[in-house]
Amino acid sequence: MEWTKQGRIFEPAGQAPWIGTHAALPVVDVTPHGCRVYFTSRDQRGRSHIGRAALALGTRPAVLDVSPEPILAPGPLGSFDDAGVTSSCVVRYDGRIFCYYTGWSLGVSVPFYLNAGLAISDDDETFQRISPAPLLDRCAVDPYLTASPWVLREESVWRMWYVSGTGWQIIDGRPRHNYHIKYAESSDGQCWERKGIVCLDYQEDEYAFGRPCVMRDDALKRYRMWYSFRGTTYRLGYAESADGIVWERKDADAGLPLSSSGWDSEMITYPVVFHHAGGLHMLYNGNDYGRSGFGLATES
């Protein structure tokens, strides 16, 4: 697999009041009327908000009509997402939009806590949290954190691949997180059964995985996953699976290296891959976890 970079198509520059620094974790919603991209930006206090915009593809890709207000803002004081919300996945089903996200709260012994959350829209405009509590709270199989859910609905089964914490380590005098990718299932997209199934685990010096993006490829009769993994810095990863549970990592086939200079020369992370106009496209973040914006690549 090879990708052709089309360049950076969005850089945060105050396009709306909720856009401060960063345009991270893009998610593409392909509809009969066009494409929309959901993404995360941080305010002056460093709190993340989720908003969306139109995504124009073609000879001159561009991000247009940025929403004047976020579709989801940080939760109330003391809630699991009072320090910020970050985009992860969007699923359309039965006339509703399911927006899966990560909620942030600040810690004392560790810098932060993460929990997956869910907000739903019934009118394609406003989103309401399904609960003031997390979608995936800490439990015996996920004792430290949950984050970055990616969800597919297949017939009557909802399938999720998500980030799960395995602990914290003191590195150079500071706590450093460790998290890999696990799997869960649901009958309604809201109540999830977790059995601690690990899909992707650490290799060598790795200690973290970014938001997974999973696609079922019927032509190849397999599932495909794009993600980012971190040792020294985030790099693009790729894996394949016959059943969506047991995965073979093929990171050498990811096909999108760092640039020699510029906005994505130090880091490639948070990929989202989608079909459009008969081809595969990828949005991804570059340097500094999305501070430099996001770019577009097309499958060669």
Per-residue pLDDT reduced to its tens digit, 98-150: 999 999 999 999 999 999 999 999 999 999 999 999 999 999 999 999 999 99
Instruction: Using alpha carbons, select from 42, 36, 95 the residue that is nearest to residue 66.
Output: 36
d(Cα 177, Cα 221) in Å, to the nearest integer? 35
Parallel, antiparallel or unpaired: strands 128-129 and 48-56: unpaired
d(Cα 73, Cα 71) in Å, to the nearest integer? 7
Tokens of 10: 């969005």
Can you tell me the mean pLDDT for 31-54? 95
Can you tell me the mean pLDDT for 10-17? 96
Supply the mean pLDDT for the chain: 97
Query: Taking the complete model, does pTM exceed 0.85, yes or no?
Result: yes
d(Cα 124, Cα 296) in Å, to the nearest integer? 25
* Residues 213, 225 contacting (CB under 8 angstroms): yes
pLDDT score at 18? 96
Give the confidence band of 228 by pLDDT, cuts at 50, 70, 90: very high
A 10 A CB-CB count for 215 gives: 15
Give the confidence band of 277 by pLDDT, cuts at 50, 70, 90: confident
> Does the pLDDT at position 278 exceed 90?
no
Can you tell me the mean pLDDT for 78-104? 98
Topology annotation, domain 11-288: Tachylectin-2; Chain A (2.115.10)
Give the confidence band of 89 by pLDDT, cuts at 50, 70, 90: very high
Residues of the chain above pLDDT 90, percent: 95
Torsion angle, alpha carbons of 82, 10, 89, 50, to 10: 20
Segments making up each domain of the chain, as ranges: 11-288
Can you tell me the mean pLDDT for 288-296? 97
Can you tell me the mean pLDDT for 149-173? 97
> Does the pLDDT at position 1 exceed 90?
no
A 10 A CB-CB count for 185 gives: 16
pLDDT score at 191? 98
pLDDT score at 118? 98
Q: Which residues pair with 213 in a beta bridge?
A: 226
Can you tell me the mean pLDDT for 8-19? 97
Instruction: Using alpha carbons, select from 75, 73, 1, 18 the residue that is nearest to residue 273.
Output: 1
Residues of the chain above pLDDT 70, percent: 100
d(Cα 28, Cα 7) in Å, to the nearest integer? 17
pLDDT score at 220? 87
Show Cβ contacts of residue 236 under 8 Å, excluding neighbours closer than 6 positions: 226, 227, 228, 251, 254, 255, 256, 268, 269, 271, 284
Interval 176-222: pLDDT, tens: 999 999 999 999 999 999 999 999 999 999 999 999 999 999 988 99
* Residues 187, 180 contacting (CB under 8 angstroms): no
> Does the pLDDT at position 151 exceed 90?
yes
**DSSP code at position 136:** B
d(Cα 71, Cα 125) in Å, to the nearest integer? 8
pLDDT score at 32? 85
3-state helix, strand, coil in the chain (%, to 5): 0, 55, 40
Can you tell me the mean pLDDT for 69-95? 98
Q: 192 φ, ψ to 5°?
A: -115, 140
> Does the pLDDT at position 58 exceed 90?
no
Give the confidence band of 283 by pLDDT, cuts at 50, 70, 90: very high
d(Cα 203, Cα 217) in Å, to the nearest integer? 26
